[in-house]
């Protein structure tokens, strides 16, 4: 779905806070068993995090300030590994929501996802 842009990974990503905003490194698991010799390196700015839903049509929704933290934290991988850090994790989720864009993106497999997203995305709504 990322074509023609280069993929930074396949089904998960790491998002870290920094002085220049939220960033993500490429993860070496882009659907293959080996890391490609020309795999991207470094940190990349995060424009938004989208929780994905399969649907019959493209729809962009920005959850309320009460729903957004629960929705985003439900997408976090392995939170049960460090239950003593749950408060810290929630603090990071809230900080991301204050500083960046998060939404629910429903899309059909055959849709022109990126043009639809750009047309419908309004981080201030």
Distance separating alpha carbons of residues 60 and 99, to the nearest angstrom: 19
Instruction: Kindly report whether the peptide bond that precedes residue 4 is cis, defined as omega within 30 degrees of 0.
Output: yes
**pLDDT the model gives residue 125:** 45
pTM for this model (two decimals): 0.73
**pLDDT the model gives residue 27:** 73
**pLDDT the model gives residue 52:** 86
Q: How many CA atoms lie within 13 A of 11 on its CB side?
A: 3
Contact 97, 72 (CB under 8 A): yes
Instruction: Please list the ranges in the chain whose pLDDT falls under 70.
Output: 1-11, 28-33, 78, 110-125
């Amino acid at each position: 779905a990322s074509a023609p842009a280069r993929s930074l990974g396949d089904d998960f990503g790491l998002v870290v806070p920094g002085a220049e905003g939220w960033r993500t490194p490429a993860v070496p698991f882009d659907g293959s068993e080996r890391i490609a010799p020309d795999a991207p390196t470094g940190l990349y700015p995060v424009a938004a995090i989208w929780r994905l839903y399969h649907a019959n049509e493209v729809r962009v929704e920005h959850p309320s300030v009460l729903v957004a933290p629960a929705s985003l934290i439900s997408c976090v991988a392995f939170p049960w590994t460090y239950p003593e850090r749950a408060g810290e994790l929630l603090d990071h989720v809230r900080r991301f929501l204050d500083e960046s864009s998060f939404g629910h993106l429903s899309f059909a497999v055959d849709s022109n996802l990126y043009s639809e997203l750009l047309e419908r995305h309004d981080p201030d709504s």
